[in-house]
Structure formats: structure tokens, C-alpha cells
Structure 1
């Protein structure tokens, strides 16, 4: 099978589940669009009265529309007409945003909330197509325009879009979205997590107008096997996609290349490039890349770099690098809710830079695109994670499809971001044969979609049978990943900090080791002896001892302690200390730096 056939095979394998919805339009971030952000009317519908009749039959599955189905947005036709809801008289929520932090009555709410937005829209060209694009909605979104169902998306942290061309009116359109954030056992993640289950339309909503034939997808990166060549593909969608000319321009590199699509609308290419300025954390150089057809054009800002492993080293642009990291949740503690804006991303990544980081682990799910775009500009390398968390239904085929789809969506969105160097398949998943098969299949999908990045996961570790102070990585998924990552909490969940002096890791694999989590809870301003749990001094002591311990691991090539900032978690109940916050942050829920912050910063400053 030749390279072109292999490419097409892998391309369509990797997009099979995506096409069941509408295929994702890449780089909506830089496209001309119309924002639907702002205030939306909402109805909290605990019993899902607007979706099911009293026989629990879904209204959108019935042949005849019931006007009491909320997605119909019906109004009484006379004083005797019975309509039991009214969006226009209902309260409002801000989009993007979570409902928990906007309405006290919804703080703990898990269930269905209906959103409604009315808008007018006139196309710039009668032949153009229009899509409605959602950055994310947690967790299951069912979308309707003018009473007609567009489709369903499952997954709380990845983008999706639907074409609305044939349903769109110039005036008085109404977009209605049923968002359901109930945790379910077959979900990804499943019932049990350690973060707040923020519900709602949590990222931007946009109307995107494109020509009848448009640039839908592209992948433009350095050839991993030759860092003087830029290679990839461009994919057209629409009315006429075969034998179309596409121009790729990178003026600064004097690249002006024309390629021709095949019958599937795909053009793959490889272009020699001289004197490339390679992207790195020291010099996060981004090139202006223009892609043009006779009907469409789009611009992106792309950095070019290679990331590989060689034995126990991680190589950025061929040179060893130590990942000075920190883990981050998508939460702004100062405003008390899901982080949604570029300003939120600035706050979090500026704190990481102040700490001395060149790397962040975005846990435990894909974050807002603002974070990746800003990391590109700031020179912060990124670990992105699929929300396969703790334990899910490994033998459930629909659960696997869900996990794979979410992985495909984040790779599709962020595959052109130089900052992203690691795709993580999972976090702290107990070893079993079905689990390992599940993760291996995810890894295979990731490698087919993107061969330019490293794969990892927070693996399982074990104590030696004969000596509890000797640690091993016996996880069979270690044979699949490029980097051996694991979370360890010796001194917090296992003994006290002084135990760290006894621990030895014996790791047989000739691969880099990365400690993806360690830490201890501390309430800012609570002081005492270093052996008193929850004090800043205890957290400081644990960091000091842990850094000594892990520095003895010969293969250690990076860390991302848990975590940058305190974050909300319904698992954490200790009054006066936790109050439903996970207190392992180096920065408090009010934005104050704890003593351990400065310990880690000093450690990073001492690393070459």
C-alpha cells in the first residue's frame, strides 16, 4: 500500500465517529464568525418535562410535535391555550459560563438545563453554508434550531458544530440547547471524579459562515523524520472538492506551494524549508501560515518543532529538555467557576510562568482553546489529557466510542499547536486486561491521527513484594507509551513526609520518567509545626522532601506537581479547611501563594 493510500485509510479510520455528527471545522478561532455569547434565557428542568411526555417518551422522537416540548419555543395562541413554559419570561445565564457559579439555586445542580438564544442573521452570500459552533457544553448537548433537531454531542470538554444553512431565517431564529450534566456510570469520565461537575454551555458559541466549498481541516507540522521539511494535509468539504487547487503560503520562509486535492478533497504535501526558526520554550516563534483556495482562505499561527524521546531523554528540537511543570484545572478561583476567557488563561499561565514552569499538565480533560493558543505564544509546553479517569466501563463498546471520539476531537482541534507535546490517554486507571486493551486502542488512534507528538498516561505503580520501600512500574501500558508518567503521594496518602527518604524506584524500562502528580493539602494562612497536617509548613516540608526523593530517579525528565491553584471538589468536606475545595494548590482559592510555591520555584531555578 503506497503512502497516499495509507494516509487515506488512517484519515477515514480516525474520522469515522466524527462523521456521525457534523465533521469538525478546524480553526474556527481565526475565522470570521458571529458570536452568540452573552445572555441566554434558561429553564432548569429537573424532571425533563420539556423533553419527555408523562409516559417518558421523548418529544423529539414523536411524529407529531407537542407544543409543550421546550425546543419548540411555543407561545399561546389565545387566552385558553395551555403552554407551561416561557423562555422569554425566564431568567438568564451568561454564555460561556457554568450555571453553578451564576445561580445559587444551581450550585449543586446536576441535570437538565434548557438554554434559548434568539438572533437574526443574513448571509453574506446566498450560496454559503452556515454552521453553529460550540467550544464545549458539559456534558450531553441536544441542539435545536427553529424547532428542528440538529443533533447530539456527548462529552463536556471538546468542540462540535452543526450545519444550519437550510434552517436559518434572516429574522427571529431561536437556538435551543438542552444541556445535561448528570454523571452516568457508562460516561467518560464516569460517576466518580475529584473536581466540580460544572454544567452548562461553558465555551464560546459562534455562527460560522463558509463558502459552498471550504477548508475544513488541515495538519501542518514539521516532518518528525526530517526537521527541514514541513508536511501535512489539507481537507476540503462542500460541493466541489476534487481536483481543487490549494495554495500554502508561509511568506517568511519563502514558501508558496500549490497542491491539488484528490477525489476525497484531500491534498497531502511535503515542502522543504530553509532556515526555520524552531519553536521552543525559550523562543516560541510562530509563523503566519496562509491557506487559500479559489473560494476560501484561512490564516493560522503555527510553530514548528520536533519532540521525541531517545532512551531516557526527552528531546525538543533534538536537545534534551527537563519539563518544569505544574498541573492545572480549568477553573478561575478568583471568580469562582469554570475558566472561560482569554483573561482566565492569562491568569493561570502567568502564575505558571512566575513559578518557573516551561510546561503545564492540563488535567484531567481538554481545556479551553485559549489555553493552547496562549501557551503557543508564551512558550509553555503542554500535556493534554483525555478524561479517561480512574475507572470506567472498560468492556462497554459505547463507552470506548465515547472516549475515542473525545480524543479525536481534541487532537483535531489542537494538532497544529506547537505547545502541545504530549497526548495523555488516561489518569490512574487500575490495571486489568480490558483496561489495557482499551488504552492501547486509544493510543493506536492517537498515533494514526498524529505521529508528531508523544503519548503518555498517569500509570499505575506498585511496591516490591519483599520491600515496601522499593517501587516499580508494572503497568503493561508502560510498553505502549513514550514517557513513563505516574502520580505518587508518598508523605500524604502513604505515610508522612519523612518516609520519602526511604523510597527507591527501580524502573526497568529505558524511557524517560515523568512524575505527573505529587503534593499535599494546605489551607493558606494556617500555620503550625511541619508535622501538622493542613498547615503551609506541612505542605512545604513535603515538597522539600519529595523533590529530594524523586531527584534520585536516574531517568527523571520532568514533573507536574498537583496543583497550581486550589479548586472546588465535592469530595472534600473537612470544615474550616477544605469546605469543598481541594487544598493541594500552591496558590489559594483567593490567589495567595503558599510557602510550597517558593520551594518549587527555587527548585526550578536551580535546574539547568
Structure 2
């Protein structure tokens, strides 16, 4: 790292240190705690002019002297002459968790503000701590409890929480959320994407009850490239921090105890004599219990190592080929985000039917339940943040946002054996400001977790029939991972044998995207666009071309299943659908599915 880049990174770390301190305290394994679900029916008010947030001079009500006047007050009319221009009590309802776009035609393309309100009953205890936890709200969330503002969160795919200890009423309470999915140039992602901008409270809302001094965070994984040692830490939060902490794995007869230091932290290092390592062939998970004098948390954790040596990817010291596919967080059968474990299991099962051992969860942080299912089902995961296309590279606030989203993802998923790659972005165009931004992101991600691979989906450049991979960011990544769309956006399928790759880096090559669109059931010759035969032919020629890359160690073609996108407007073949799936939007396997599965069957035999 040059002097300027190091100074830039140091500046950003100092700039955002308080935000990191807040989010690094994000609770681990929220569903392993005592909690009350606030999911269900929430009243809502659509507010395209944001009259519930700004006065007529466009000043926020919650920043006025009184802090009153916004929809978050949830006022009720006291007498017949009082003027109130909203009413949650008579307002319609939306389901939470779910996006709003799929809950009525009026919402289909809506981008803007919707206010959510939920009434609930609580009986807070004086010896307990309470957290209001949101698994995701897209994109900017302002949260109020009983008329008082708790805070703001930006980022549509990562969890956030507020300490509401001492702020809950005995009995009736009300939480109001201003959710705004407006796209903006300086946000992450930026204005230009190729997926549906689903708005709303899209994941769980929970009220957690904890001991006043509780286990807030822990990491329990194998040490870097070491199959014989578990390393990690346990972090307490609260007042009485000098407690004995025990980590036990009963099946392995492991039990270790140590006293937390003054900050409530214990570092652990446990030798392992014999264990079953997690792998796609045998996704073994162990019951792990973390306890202190005042708290106990149970988890299911797998143990494995992942590393790169030369042009090989080693899983548990054995060379592996990533037989993968890309996936969006969307249910093709029922419009909208994946709503529950059943939806998510269906998507991962479709990947398993393709004989995948690996999935790329693009282009943002997916639901924690999806990662836990991947743990159970034996699918390695590429996990990504939405640094996508034309980010504002020179805006420090944009970098701060991207770094925070990476922090939240790593903090949440660091105990999941399935996650083998942290991705810092997708298809980002070359420029000096971008190199600094992305280089700093790579370094920061390694500082959070050095036990996994760090990568990004890069782009190729063509000169004649040469496909060139020479991105300066490649020096800072573990994989030569890139997207290319030969046979669809350039060249005809039958021309692909003429092309050859010139790759600068001596690292494992993982093709993060290739593909083309086909309408399921539309049949023609293999030169007719949009037909299954065209897509099938393109896959055959692509796989032949890619097989000539000696360092090829995996791929995630684009994409498992057709998905919705406002960018895709052809009225006959697309109609706001990206049709690059090997499954259709009704779950029908296209002809390309069988080409890819046959290739993966061969790779499975080769890498036994």
C-alpha cells in the first residue's frame, strides 16, 4: 500500500471510528436469545412528499425545538376542532417482513417513503436489557419508539439495533419506522442497478430481552489455515464484565473456561485432536454453548479451512472446484423478496439439483437464514456488499457506508462455515479513485477476518480475440474472479472458440458471471436470440472456452432463476424480467440447465 493510500485509509478509519464502535457491538445470533417477534400486520401511510417528516419549509419535525409534528407522534384526535392530516388507526396494513412492492399494484414501481406503525405490549423488567432489532430495512430507516427518535440506519440489507432499555412502557407501546428506498448517487448501491428496488421492512423485527450483562458477540472458528486449532473470542456487554466465560462443544468433549478482562473480552485458543470438518459432502455442524455467570447462548457451528495455494483453492487442505451459480434474494414464484426459510430452501435446493457445491449470493448481503441454511445443506457461499457499477468513488461518506455494510455482514456471518469468500463489489470500472476505494476495502475486509478469501467480481477488456484480465485490484485479491458475457453482449456463441484469455495474475480463476437470456418454452434454432436453443448453445461454447483456462477453479453463471428488473423492458421477451436464469420464473428447467449440470457432474468426478 502506498503512502497516500495508507493515509487515506487511516483518515477514513478515524472518521468512522464511532460508527464502527456502534456496529461492532451488533449482537451475535439474535435468534439464539429470548425475543418477542414484532412481525405481522403493520399500519402504513404512503408519503411521497414526506409531509410526515418535513414541515412546509422542508425542515425535519424531529429536529425542531419541540421534536413534535411528524407522523411518528401517532396523534389521535382529542376534540372535533383539532386538525390532524393523518391517522394510523384507520390506515391500511402491510405484512412485515416483506417488501411493499409485492403487496399491491400501487406499490409496484414505488420509490419513496412509507411510514410503518406497530402497536405492541411489553412488560419490561428492571434487571434486563432490551434491544429493538431490525434484520433489514431498505434503504434508509428512521426509527421512533413511543414518539421518541431512536436513530437512523442506511443500508438495505444489513441488520441494525437500538438499545431501548428504560424506554419501553409497561403495557402499550408503539414503534414507527420511516422507510425510504429512494435511489441516490452517493449511496451504496448507487442509482444504477439491475435488480428490483424492493422497499420496506423486508426482514424480521425483534424485541430481544437480555441479562444486563450478556454475551454480545463471539467468534468460534478454526484458526487461519490450521485444522488443529479453534481460535476466536467472546465479548461481554454490560457492567459486571469480570466474569468466567465457558465455551463448550459437548460432542468433541471440549470445555474451556477463562475470565474476561476489564473490557469483557476473552480470547480463546483450543487444540483439536479429532473432528469432522465441514464440507459440501458432509456439512457437519456441532452444538456450541457459550456461557458466562449471567448468560448462555447456543449455536450450531461448522469448522473448516479455506485458502489459496498457487492456482488451487483448498478446502480443508484439499483442492476444490467451485461448482456454483449466482442467486438473487427474490422469489420468482411469488413476487418479492424471499420471505421465509421455505422460500430460501427452495432456491438452495434448486442449486443442489444443478449439482452445485457453491453459490454466489449477489449483489448484496442476503438474509441470515439463507446463510444458516447453506451451512446445513452443504453449499459454500460468496457473500457480497452492493458496491456496484458507478459508485461515488471520491465521496468519503460513500466509502464509510460501504465499509459499514461490510462490517455488518462480517460481524453477523463470521461463524458460518459456508461463507468462504467476502466480496467487496461487482463490475466496478477502472479509475485511480476506484483503485484507492476498492484497495482500501480489500485491506479493511482482511482486518475484520483473515480466515476467508477476499475477492470482487472484476471486468475483462477485449483486444481483438484476446480477453484481458489486468485490473490493478487483482493484486490485492485472493481470486482472479471476473464477469464476461461472450455470446450475448459480444460475439456469437459459435465465435467463442476464437477467443483466448490473457490473465495477468497467477491465482485461481473463478468466473463470477456469464450467461444470456432465454424465454422458457420458446424454441427455435441455436442462432435465434431469446430461444432456449440459443442459450443452450452459448453455454456449450462458453464451457468449452473456459475449460481451456488452466487455472480455472470455479464459476457462478448468471443466474439460477429469472428475476425482475426495471432495466429489462422488451415487451415480448422480458417485460421487466431478466431472463438469464437456467430456471424460469415458474421453476421450469431450461435446456442450458442440463448443459451446466453435465459439466458439474464431470467436475465433481475430477475433484473427488
What is residue 95 of structure 1 aligned with on the other side? 96
- Which residue of structure 1 aligns with residue 5 of structure 2? none
Deviations 1:93-144 (A, max 9, x none): 0000000000210111000000000000113x42101011111000000000
Determine the structure 1 residue equivalent to 2:3. none
Say if 1:121 and 1:170, in contact at 8 Å, map to a contact too: yes
Displacement of 1:226 after TM fit? 2.5
Q: Is the 8 A contact 1:387 1:426 kept in 2?
A: yes
Look up the match of 1:407. Answer: 406
Greater than 4 Å deviation, 4+ residue runs: 12-16
Looking at structure 2, the residues matched to 499 and 185 of structure 1 have their Cα atoms a distance apart, in angstroms, of 38
Aligned with 1:53 (options 46, 52, 55): 55
Residue by residue over 1:5-54, the C-alpha shift from the partner in whole angstroms, topping out at 9 and shown as x without a partner, is xxxx9xx9897423346831110022221100000000000000000000
TM-superposed deviation, 1:463:
2.3
1:119 and 2:124 are equivalent in the alignment? no
The 1:265/1:15 distance shift into structure 2, 3 A limit, reads farther
CA distance in 1, matches of 2:86, 2:546: 59
Residue 46 (structure 2) aligned to one of 19, 44, 60: 44
**Do 1:35 and 1:205's aligned partners in 2 also have CA atoms closer than 8 Å?**
yes
The answer (yes or no) to whether the contact 1:23–1:161 under 8 Å persists in 2 is: no
Q: Distance in 2 between matches of 1:36 and 1:178?
A: 16
- CA offsets, 1:433-487, max 9 Å, x none? 11111111111111111111001001122224xxx11122110000000011000
Match of 1:533 among 515, 529, 548: 529
Partners in 2 of 1:307 and 1:331 — Cα distance? 29
Note the alpha carbon deviations across 1:143-184, whole angstroms, 9 max, x for none. Answer: 000000001100000000001111101211000000000000
Alignment of 1:434-583 (within 5 A): 434-464=433-463, 468-583=464-579
Higher mean C-alpha displacement, 469-478 vs 359-368: 469-478
TM-score norm. by structure 1 comes to 0.96
What residue number does 2:80 align with?
79
| Alpha carbons of structure 1 residues 40 and 350: separation in structure 2 relative to 1, 3 Å | same
Question: Match of 1:204?
Answer: 204
> Which residue matches 1:146?
146
Give the conservation status (yes or no) of the 8 Å contact 1:130–1:207. yes
Distance in 1 (alpha carbons) for counterparts of 2:19 and 2:443: 15
**2:297 equivalent to 1:301:** no
CA separation of 1:225 and 1:544: change in aligned 2, threshold 3 A:
closer
Contact 2:470/2:504 (<8 A) preserved: no
1:224–1:22 Cα change, 3 Å? closer
Answer yes or no: is the 8 Å Cα contact 2:128–2:210 preserved in 1.
yes
SS in 2 for 1:361: strand
**Secondary structure of 2:447's partner?**
helix
Question: Displacement, 1:276?
Answer: 1.2
Alpha carbons 1:131, 1:209 under 8 Å: kept: yes
Hey, what does 1:5 align to over in structure 2? none
Residue equivalent to 1:597: 593
The structural deviation recorded for 1:340 is 2.2
**Conserved? CA contact 2:563–2:581, under 8 Å:** yes
Distance between the aligned counterparts of 2:309 and 2:38, measured in 1? 47
Q: Look up the match of 2:136.
A: 136
1:105 is paired with a residue of what secondary structure? helix
Secondary structure of the structure 1 residue equivalent to 2:391: coil
SS at match of 1:445: helix
SS in 1 for 2:537: helix
Partner of 1:194: 194
CA–CA distance in 1 between the matches of 2:172 and 2:86? Answer: 19
Q: Is the 8 A contact 1:22 1:161 kept in 2?
A: no
> How far apart, CA to CA, are the structure 1 residues paired with 2:102 and 2:226?
49
Q: Which moved more, 1:528-537 or 1:26-35?
A: 26-35
TM-score of the pair, normalised by structure 2:
0.96
Q: SS of the counterpart of 1:425?
A: strand
1:403 Cα deviation after fit: 0.3
Alignment of 1:233 onto 2:229: no
Q: Which residue of structure 2 lines up, in the alignment, with residue 288 of structure 1?
A: 287
Contact 2:140 2:155 in 1 (8 A): yes
2:427 and 2:254 mapped to 1: Cα distance? 45
Indicate whether 1:428 and 2:424 are aligned: no
1:356 matched to 2:350? The reply is: no
Contact 1:22 1:162 in 2 (8 A): no
Cα shift at 1:314: 0.2
- CA–CA distance in structure 2, aligned partners of residues 315 and 155 of structure 1: 33
User: Once structures 1 and 2 are overlaid, which stretch shifts more, 16-25 or 88-97?
Assistant: 16-25
Residue segments in structure 1 that go unaligned for 5+ positions in a row: 1-8
- Name the SS of the counterpart of 1:393 in structure 2: coil
For the pair 1:347 / 2:346, whether they are aligned, the reply is: yes
Alpha-carbon distance in structure 2 between the residues aligned to 1:518 and 1:372: 24
Query: Per the alignment, do residues 234 and 15 of structure 1 end up closer, same or farther by CA in structure 2, a change over 3 Å counting?
Result: farther
SS in 2 for 1:226: coil
What is the alpha-carbon distance in structure 2 between the residues aligned to residue 244 and residue 16 of structure 1?
26
Structure 2 gaps, min length 5: 1-9
Which residue in the other structure is 1:316 paired with?
A: 315
Q: How far is 1:65 from its partner?
A: 3.5
1:365 alignment partner in structure 2: 364
Give the superposition deviation at 1:240.
2.0
From the superposition, tell whether residues 15 and 585 of structure 1 become closer, same or farther in structure 2 (CA, over 3 Å).
farther
Tell me the distance in 2 between the aligned counterparts of 1:496 and 1:332: 31
Q: Secondary structure at the match of 1:411?
A: helix
* Residues 526-575 of structure 1: per-residue CA shift (max 9 Å, x gap): 11111000001100000011000000000000000000010000000001
How many angstroms apart in 2 are the aligned matches of 1:173 and 1:18? 30
C-alpha distance 368-530 of structure 1, shift in aligned 2 (>3 A) = same
